[in-house]
Amino acid sequence: MKVKRFSTARDKELKCTDPESYIDENGILYPRLAKMPIQDLSLIANFRVEMMKRYYTGDIREVDYPIVELLMDGLSDIPVRHRISCFENAVFIQIKYPPKLYATDDTNYISIELAAHIFCLTTSDMTDIADEDGELYEDEDGHSLVSLEWLIDTYEDRLCQLVNYEKLSFKTDGQGEISIIIERKLE
């Protein structure tokens, strides 16, 4: 099997992961799965696996990646593109967005629109949550932002309620790409 590697530098938390392969902290290389497991779809869609299964008859355990990516692109309120990859113990989500609309000068912050998209919420709902937590900021142009640290903490809290996950990693360049890795415990 030929494993494609990208030469882009990766954050320590994100290790050497890209959409085609995943290397865990022990150096084990995992190839991309052929299809996305239902448990990972429920994780991304913020539903419990049991809830997802109620909508299906039969024993559907996998979904084609293009279907998931199309759904995620099409259901978004903002212009984004997704690349999803699932591995035996992790889910990789790459979100590409137009930097002219949502870029930030400081990679420690992310636009409220992108944060809302990641949580599958409306911008208004995300703004209310961030404001309630005292984590709503504005840049010099008046765009609403949230800190990446708060976003990660809040996302982890949500994951704890939904799935049996082990570790969460975020990386953003602030200029058009966000990468998220959700490592889950093997069952």
| Per-domain boundaries in the chain | 21-184
| pTM of the entire predicted model | 0.66
Q: Do strands 109-111 and 144-147 pair parallel, antiparallel, or not at all (unpaired)?
A: antiparallel
Axis-axis angle for helices 38-45, 65-74 (nearest 10): 10
Residue-level pLDDT, tens digit, the chain, 187 residues: 344 443 344 444 455 556 677 777 787 888 888 888 877 777 776 666 665 665 555 566 677 777 778 778 877 778 888 888 988 888 888 888 888 878 787 888 888 998 988 888 889 999 999 999 999 999 888 889 999 899 989 888 887 777 677 888 888 876 788 888 888 876 6
Q: Is the dihedral of CA 68, 48, 120, 174 positive or negative?
A: negative
In the numeric block, the tokens 């290397």 are attached to: 23
Burial code (b: 16+ CB inside 10 Å, e: under 16) for 34-53 equals eebbbbbbbbbebbebeebb
Axis-axis angle for helices 123-132, 112-119 (nearest 10): 100
Residue-level pLDDT at 130 = 94
